[in-house]
Chains A and B, each alone.
Chain A
Amino acid sequence: MKRIAGFALNYYKVILLFAILIVSSSVTQDPVQNIKNMIMIQAPFVMIYSFGMTLAVITGGLDLSLGSIAAFSTCAAAFLIIEDQIFVGIAVCLLIGAGLGLLNGLLITKAKVNPFIATYGMDWVIRGAVYIMMGGAMIYHFSHDFKVIADGSFLGISNLVYIAFAILAILMFVFQKTVFGRNVYSTGANIKVSRLTGVNTDMVIIIVYMISGVLASTSGLLYVARLDCAEAFLGKNFGLQALAATLIGGTSLKGGKGGVGNTVIGVLIMVFLMNCLNVLKVSTLWQDAVFGLVIVVSALLEMAKQRYANYLQL
């Protein structure tokens, strides 16, 4: 009994993944195409901004401003890209992402605002700024050269997958293999010890939020290229979905644990779940409620795991 419970708690993610997969494929006519669609097209977007959230969660915070950073940076860049200045546009987009992330980081480290409140507040401010900038308009009909970033494929696999996995590889390397990555984990696990060991914890946190901002604007850019449209409402659900994916993936809110690898599984669970609801003809209006439930459930699972671990040790 003890063993089964332990197994279930350790591998619940994989079990969940397969359960959802089986349910969703059993009701679709073309399960292979369906799964391919999810992995090729839907998952990469979610993955990229969820990585941003995961990094923030590892430092012991979180980033709820992902969606509005994506909207603001892409809308600003869209003005350039529509004039065919694609590279300048992309550079501006990523720079704005980094800049807004920097603001988040400064609010959290220097002004000592709780990360939740800081990024939630920034979300509102940035979203307001996007509304002002766009004034209700949209920018669309981009050139083919730009759209191909998201639409194109290589060897039959969507560019999105390559981009997402390139980012994953880089992040895995940086956060598992470098001194900086180690400092991010130690800062998340215990900021006081890390500071007393000579780690510049403020800098670590600021850089992580900047990376998170860049990842948000990257995924925003891909969305714009895919939808061929930049609008102020982009990414309304990013924060919520990314948090759900990160937590169900097993990165702990306490910080210092988990990683982007876990989040890949978390994202797959979320994407499959959404798809499953789609297939079952559940209204998309349920989305918010489902995200919320996933967050609660994963927090509860995390707690159960913790208790079980303590129980095993004694």
Chain B
Amino acid sequence: MNDTILEIRNISKSFSGVPVLEDINMSIKKSEVHVIVGENGAGKSTLMKIISGVYRKDKGDLFFEGKPVQINSVQKALNVGIGIIHQEFNLLPHRSIGQNIFLGREPIKSNFLKVIDHDLICKKSKELLDYLGLDIDPRTLVYNLGIAQQQMVEVAKALCFKSKVLIMDEPTATLTRKETVKLFEIIRKLKSEGVSIIYISHRLEEIKQIADTLTVLRDGRIVGDLSIENASIDQIIRMMVGREIKDQYKRQYHMHGEEVLKTENLGAKRFSNVNINVHRGEIVGLSGLVGAGRTEIAKTIFGEDAIEKGSVNIYGKKYHRMSTQKATKLRIGLVPEDRKEEGAIMEMSIRHNIVHAVLPRLFKSSVISKKTELAVATKYMEELGIKAPSVNKLVKLLSGGNQQKVVIAKWMCADCEILIFDEPTRGIDVGAKAEIYGIMSELVERGKAILMISSDLPELIGMCDRIYTIKDGMVTAEFSRTEATQEKILAACV
């Protein structure tokens, strides 16, 4: 097959002993849009990082235009003709657009001292921006740009390399619908000029619009290659999850108790006029795109970010100022999105982490009794089914799911009445996910109140009693469990 531009053979990769990719085989044809889908943690990003030289593969081979290539650095990948637009942007905010586009390979005016030809950078950048239909001065500093514009700068950066294969990792995650349409136009334009595009997305509905072929990844393996004509969204979803969506959410819906959390016209940096409430025995979801302000709302309620306007009412009492100390004293707990940086202390033991929040209450005299501490930690470790040889094991040595359970155990141990879960199942394997859903259901049955943020719509719909949708820092809609559908929620988010 001479129209195959990139072939991936038997690629495997594992991180600290945990296999992330196993035996991946794939071929990318010339001028096609090859979509890769899969749940969070299915290994899509890892695969892309291997192809683009960020990670080294453990096993397997890559063939580019029929010839075997060793890609061991980003530079090598770029020279071969593989460019990538990462999920997180790789731009320098204090450099200009032009400087960012040509980062690392600036044209040189003279060889003496390697003087950079700034005019050429400007001229070429301008051409690229024009090609992408962007009317901005290439000398503008990047931090003055909006997110969509930054995305375009990333595209320009990749184009400028004359990449033959362009990888886009969730490019539309932060774009509005209009911007997405524009991006698709550009993708089609690139395709018509012979560029192959590997496109990673969660958004199944947009895949239909641009994909030629489709590969589904699940738990580090390829579960299917489809051509787009024969693929229905239902089928794709089934392949992605490998199970019926509704199965794993074992919620029982009872009458709700009193209202324990309420925000009144709450406003802070990234959002304003937010009015939401949560009752005992209820899971309330916050849905929205990345960057819509969901995490910020959670952090403001928890006192990590300052309240600028409005108030937070806890158990009917109004608070205009919050702090994390006050929040924990009020028995609020936050299970943050970034487990490793904000959730648990990786370098400390399970025991230390579990009793962390309850310490001042558990030991009123301030002297720690190791026996009590051990007993408490062991109790919660068993209750939540944290799989580890002992409570003294360092948290960094646990799997993602068990780490998350340690974070939850910390708040359960502190007897929290209101729990905020921010993306509780991100990067966690399927089995552990179900366990975490089970824990959450049990918590609300015990009369706790849960506010849950998630990008995973089936999960939100399966778990929540009510769902608020957030867009650009505003609440756009509220759905009850019975009226919520993926389509309706998505429509309110974008």
* Direct A–B contact in complex, judged by CB atoms less than 8 Å apart: yes
Contact surface of A with B, Cβ cutoff 8 Å: 177-180, 182-183, 185-186, 189-190, 192-200, 256-257, 313-314
Q: Are B357 and A179 in contact (CB under 8 A)?
A: no
From B302, B325, B345, B397, contact of A190 by CB (8 A): B345
Q: Say whether A186 contacts B368, CB under 8 Å.
A: no
**Interface residues in B, total, Cβ within 8 A:** 30
Return A283 CB to nearest CB of chain B, in Å.
Answer: 42
**Considering only CB atoms, which chain B residue lies closest to A193 in the complex?**
B345
With a cutoff of 8 Å between Cβ atoms, the chain A residues found around residue B356 in the complex are 186, 193-194, 197, 199
> What separation, in Å, do the CA atoms of A16 and B348 have in the docked complex?
28
- Do A314 and B16 form a contact, CB below 8 Å, given A178-B368, A197-B410, A257-B347? yes
Q: Are B325 and A200 in contact (CB under 8 A)?
A: yes
Distance between Cα atoms of A190 and B353 in the complex (Å)? 11
**Complex-state Cα separation, A256 to B395, whole angstroms:** 14
Q: Main SS of chain A's interface residues?
A: helix
Q: A197–B303 Cα gap in the complex (Å)?
A: 11
Q: Which of B324, B343, B344, B360 contacts A195 (CB 8 A)?
A: B324
Report chain B residues within 8 Å CB of A198.
324-325, 327-329, 357
For the complex, is B17 an interface residue (Cβ under 8 Å from A)? yes
Q: How far is the CA of A90 from the CA of B152 in the complex (A)?
A: 67
A-chain residues with CB within 8 Å of residue B334 when the two chains form the complex: 196
CB-CB contacts of B300-313 with A at 8 A, as 1s and 0s? 00101000000000
Distance in angstroms between the alpha carbons of A195 and B305 in the assembled complex: 12
Nearest neighbor of B407 in chain A, beta-carbon distance:
A193
Complex: A183 Cα to B357 Cα, angstroms: 10
| Chain A, residue nearest B362 (CB) | A179
With A200-B325, A257-B347 in contact, do A192 and B342 touch (Cβ < 8 Å)? yes
Give bound CA distance, A196 to B344, whole Å: 10
The 23 listed contacts between A and B (C-beta, < 8 Å) are A178-B366, A179-B359, A179-B363, A179-B367, A180-B366, A182-B352, A182-B368, A186-B352, A189-B345, A189-B348, A190-B345, A190-B346, A192-B342, A193-B345, A193-B356, A196-B304, A197-B328, A198-B327, A200-B325, A256-B347, A256-B348, A257-B347, A313-B397
**Assembled-state Cα–Cα distance A183/B328 (Å):** 15
Give complex CA distance A313, B17 in Å.
9
Chain A residues whose C-beta falls within 8 Å of the C-beta of B16 in the assembled complex: 313-314
Q: Given the known A-B contacts A179-B360, A313-B16, A313-B397, are A196 and B346 also in contact in the complex, defined by CB atoms under 8 Å?
A: no
How far, in angstroms, from A195 to B323 measured CA to CA in the complex? 9
Question: Looking at the complex, which one of A180, A194, A200 makes contact with B345 (CB distance below 8 Å)?
Answer: A194
| A206 nearest CB across to chain B (Å) | 14
User: B302 to chain A: which residues have CB within 8 Å?
Assistant: 196
CA distance A192 to B341 in the complex (A): 7
**B98 an interface residue at 8 Å Cβ cutoff?**
no
Q: Is B336 an interface residue (CB 8 A)?
A: yes
A-B Cβ contacts below 8 A, count: 69
B389 to chain A, nearest CB (A): 14
Closest 10 CB pairs of A and B: A198-B328, A190-B345, A179-B359, A189-B345, A197-B357, A179-B366, A197-B356, A178-B366, A189-B347, A193-B345
Closest-CB distance, B374 to chain A (whole angstroms): 14
B352 lies within 8 A of A177 (CB): no
Q: Which residues of the other chain, B, contact A185 by a CB distance below 8 angstroms?
A: 348
B367 near A178 with CB under 8 A, answer: yes
Residues from chain B with Cβ under 8 Å of A189 in the complex: 345, 347-348
Please report B residues at the A interface, Cβ cutoff 8 Å. 16-17, 302, 304, 324-325, 327-329, 334, 336, 341-348, 352, 356-357, 359-360, 363, 366-368, 397, 410
Residues of A close to B328: CB separation below 8 A:
197-198
B410: chain A residues within 8 A (beta carbon): 197
Q: Which residues of B contact A256 (CB under 8 A)?
A: 345, 347-348
A179-B368, A190-B341, A256-B345 given; name 12 further pairs at CB < 8 Å: A179-B360, A186-B345, A189-B348, A192-B341, A193-B356, A194-B345, A194-B356, A195-B324, A196-B336, A198-B327, A198-B329, A313-B16
Nearest Cβ distance between residue A224 and chain B, in whole angstroms?
Answer: 34
- Residues of chain A contacted by B352 (CB below 8 angstroms): 182, 186
Name the residue on A nearest B16 (C-beta).
A314
Q: Within the complex, what minimum Cβ distance (angstroms) separates B12 from chain A?
A: 16
How far does the alpha carbon of A50 sit from the alpha carbon of B368 in the complex, in Å?
26
Q: List B contacts of A257 (CB < 8 A).
A: 347
In angstroms, Cα B356 to Cα A185, docked, is 11
| Cα separation A185 to B363 with both chains bound (whole Å) | 17
- Whether B347 lies near A190 (C-beta < 8 A) is yes
CB of B5, distance to nearest CB on chain A (Å): 35
CB distance from B422 to the nearest CB of A (A): 11
Q: Given the interface contacts A196-B302, A198-B357, does A314 sit within 8 Å of B17 by beta carbon?
A: yes
A90 to B84 Cα, complex, angstroms = 66
Give the complex CA separation of A154 and B327 in angstroms.
52
Give the CA-CA distance A170 to B16 in the complex, in Å.
40
In the complex, what residue of chain B is closest to A173 when comparing beta carbons?
B367
Q: A178-B366, A195-B304 are known contacts. Are A183 and B346 too (CB-CB below 8 A)?
A: no
Bound: A198/B355 CA distance, A: 12
Q: Name the distance in Å between A139's Cβ and chain B's nearest Cβ.
A: 40
Distance of A8 Cα from B357 Cα, bound (Å): 37
Name, among A186, A193, A313, the residue most crowded by chain B CB atoms within 10 Å (CB to CB): A193
Shortest C-beta distance, B377 to chain A (Å), equals 13
**Cα distance A178–B363 in the bound complex, in angstroms:** 9
Min Cβ gap B296→A in Å is: 14
Q: Which residues of A contact B348 (CB under 8 A)?
A: 185-186, 189, 256
Q: How far is the CA of A196 from the CA of B325 in the complex (A)?
A: 8
Tell me how far the C-beta of B373 lies from the nearest C-beta in chain A, rounded to whole angstroms.
Answer: 9
Q: In the docked arrangement, what's the CA distance between A193 and B302, Å?
A: 13
Neighbouring A residues of B367 by C-beta, 8 Å: 177-179
Question: Which residues from chain B contact A195 at a C-beta distance below 8 Å?
Answer: 304, 324
Q: How far is the CB of A307 from chain B (nearest CB, A)?
A: 14
- Contact residues in B for A314 (Cβ distance below 8 Å): 16-17
B302 closest partner in A (C-beta): A196
- B346 CB → nearest A CB, Å: 7
Please measure, in the bound complex, the distance between the C-alpha atom of A190 and the C-alpha atom of B345, giving whole angstroms: 6
A192 to B338, CA, bound (A): 11
Residue on A nearest B347 in the bound complex, by CB: A189
Q: Within 8 Å CB of B366, what residues of A? A: 178-180
Task: Report B19 CB to chain A, min CB distance, Å.
Answer: 14
Residues of B within 8 A of A193 (CB): 341-345, 356
- Which B residues touch A192, using CB under 8 A? 341-342
In the complex, the answer to whether A183 meets B359 with C-beta atoms within 8 Å is yes
A186 to B347 CA separation, bound complex (whole angstroms): 9
Cβ of A180 to closest chain B Cβ, rounded Å: 7
Q: Which of A186, A189, A198, A313 has the most CB of B within 10 A?
A: A198
Name which residue of chain A comes closest to B332, CB basis.
A198
Chain B CB count within 10 A is highest, among A180, A182, A197, for A197
In the bound complex, how far is the Cα of B304 from the Cα of A197, in angstroms? 10
Most buried by B among A189, A190, A256: A190
The CA of A180 and the CA of B365, in the complex, are separated in Å by 11
**Chain A nearest CB: distance from B178 CB in Å?**
36
Determine how close the nearest CB of chain A comes to the CB of B314; give it in whole angstroms. Answer: 14
